[in-house]
Structure 1
Amino acid sequence: MHASAPKFSVIIPNYNNAGTLARALDSALSQTWPAHEIIVVDDGSVDDSRAVAASYGDRIVYLYQPNAGVSAARNAGVRHASGDWLAFLDADDTFAPERLAAHADWIRRDPDLDFLLSDQDFRAPDGSFLHRSIDATPFGRALLERHRGQAEIVLGEDDFGPLIGHGFVEIRTLSLPRHTFERLGGFPLGKKIGEDVHLMVRLCAASRRAGVVTQSLADYYLYPASAIRKDVAGAQRASVSLFEELLGELAGASPGVRAGMREKLRQARLNMAYMHLRQGRRRAAVDSVLPLLRPLPRWGSLCDVLSIVRGIR
């Protein structure tokens, strides 16, 4: 079965990224499968972002809003979108030329895919290569080994839990139907950390089949001044809160998806505990992992708590 050609709306939230916005826009405009539209949502920038966007004329759509956060900016872009598929790009990252084409070709051949992902490159601010996304994760490595040599891998419902818990979820390689995004309610407001993971978990919980292109289709630049790196402690607390909230909201999700969320919560609590240990806050470290023993202690949870207790001796 062949579907009609997908029309991609590329949504680019921007906040004071005048220095990199042109690079992002050039990558979106250089797609071998042209985007149906490219929408820049300026989230209250006070730098030269408006002038940069204006230099592209009618090749892009520019929207301005008072500063409300990246989730609100992306949601506003989707409300304005007219394409049937969505792709997201941050203003300091880039798409590879085949980013849209690789997904569009697969969608035409297999229109029953609920969403698609791909590999991506992590890069330093100067552009130097750091590592790839898929093979840097336990689930990604297992997936590549299971489907050795395949350029396209189909994920089923049994894969969504490991994808959440040990996978390679990256917003700039996500393609999903606009109606699915709208049905899920978009990105959560009021979250400075993990808004993309929040959407992906809900998307996995509502999906049956997904596609993974093993080609790297985007570049993610790691900057020292990012929100996570500026406030490591705050980011750790926000991650714990995020997954506790999701576990409550998705009580009816499949056992696999809930297992993936519990694993992410476990990782977040351990990371917070190790952060406290590095700061010499031993009691706070133990308090960070004790909730893992509720409601019923598991062997793995006991081992996690014991590892922190041993670390304070």
Structure 2
Amino acid sequence: MTSDVAVVVTAFDQGDLVREAVLSVRAQTRRPAEVVVVDDGSTDPASRAVLAEVSAAGLARVLHLPNGGVSAARNAGIAATSAPLVAVLDGDDRWEPDFLARTADLLVDPEVVAASSWLRMHGVAAGVVRAPGGRAVDFLHRNACPASIVMRRAGWAAAGGYDEEMRGGFEDWDLALRLLTPGGRVAVVPEPLIAYRTAPASANVHSMAHRTELYRYLVDRHRPLFERHLREVLLALDATAARRLADWEDLAVAGPGAPAPEVTFGDGGMAAAVRVASAQRVG
């Protein structure tokens, strides 16, 4: 079935991983109306060769831009398409074949402003991560949805697109808050339909190095929303801290070889899992 969804894949020096990402898009049971790969100024000759092959094979239209960050790349890709629904995918990730079918169907509900799914980590760290989705209040103490989403073009435009000044991370969290501020919710399919590659150099890990700075930016930008829900935010942050203390105590009591706690989404849990897995490999 051909759909009314345009897919934008962003790429920067990711070599054959981009081909894998595009092939996963082309393997969707709900075939996309348009597929665009936005090259965010790749300099690696091998990566540029892969992009040329993807274009020559007719797998996707490739746009070459100067390096401007993932927000600028996503905005340019979306602007270059026309379908009423748009989906974004990072060039080192993949979708399971029914990702588009399952997520785009959720947008039939006018209350749903965006849709995604749980994800399965592979690479340095492995496991299923269960992003919850939710309403604006659920996104104030943590990001509750993966970056790979399907949304309405009209919603993206009304929200002002991705913030191109946010080159250090959290740009997807910021857009989610702007999509949700007028109302509605982000829906998440409770199955791991995103294959998320983890590596010590992944953007998720790098953004954690200055998480407080990025979170301060979000709070300042969305201050009226945070002030309106201050009680809920403080209680949610305290609950997160209490849960992590309990997990630490359980591990300390259980001793070596105890299973790690479930990896959480949007609160630094994935980045922590990658750091731990990386350290264990070195050790």
**TM-score (structure 2 length as normaliser):** 0.73
Name the residue aligned to 2:160. 185
Q: Distance in 1 between matches of 2:128 and 2:18?
A: 23
Deviation of residue 84 (structure 1)?
0.8
Name the residue aligned to 2:175. 199
Counterpart code for 1:49:
S
1:52 to 38, 50, 53: 50
Name the residue aligned to 1:9. 6
Structure 1 segments unaligned to the other structure (5+ residues): 135-139, 144-154, 269-313
Answer yes or no: is the 8 Å Cα contact 1:240–1:265 preserved in 2: no
Name the residue aligned to 2:38. 41
Distance 1:263 1:20, change over 3 A: farther
| Count of residue pairs the alignment pairs up | 236
Answer yes or no: is the 8 Å Cα contact 2:36–2:60 preserved in 1: yes
Q: Based on CA coordinates, which of the two structures has the bigger radius of gyration?
A: 1
Answer yes or no: is the 8 Å Cα contact 1:243–1:264 preserved in 2: no
1:239 equivalent in alignment to 2:237: no
Answer yes or no: is the 8 Å Cα contact 2:10–2:40 preserved in 1: yes
Cα RMSD over matched residues?
3.0
Deviation of residue 208 (structure 1)?
2.1
Deviation of residue 259 (structure 1)?
5.9
Distance 1:22 1:115, change over 3 A: same
Answer yes or no: is the 8 Å Cα contact 2:181–2:225 preserved in 1: no
Q: Distance in 2 between matches of 1:133 and 1:118?
A: 8
Q: Distance in 1 between matches of 2:140 and 2:157?
A: 21
Q: Distance in 1 between matches of 2:51 and 2:232?
A: 40
Deviation of residue 267 (structure 1)?
10
Deviation of residue 186 (structure 1)?
0.7
Q: Distance in 2 between matches of 1:203 and 1:259?
A: 22
Q: Distance in 2 between matches of 1:199 and 1:61?
A: 25
Structure 2 segments unaligned to the other structure (5+ residues): 241-283
Alignment of 1:126-145 (within 5 A): 129-134=126-131, 140=132
Name the residue aligned to 1:114. 113
The farther-off stretch of 96-105 and 72-81 is 96-105
**In the TM superposition, what whole-angstrom CA distance separates every residue of 1:105-151 from its partner, at most 9, and x where no partner exists?**
3445x3553222321112224xx7323223xxxxx4xx9xxxxxxxx
1:255 equivalent in alignment to 2:254: no
Q: Which structure dedicates a bigger proportion of its chain to helix?
A: 1
Answer yes or no: is the 8 Å Cα contact 1:193–1:238 preserved in 2: no
Answer yes or no: is the 8 Å Cα contact 1:122–1:220 preserved in 2: yes
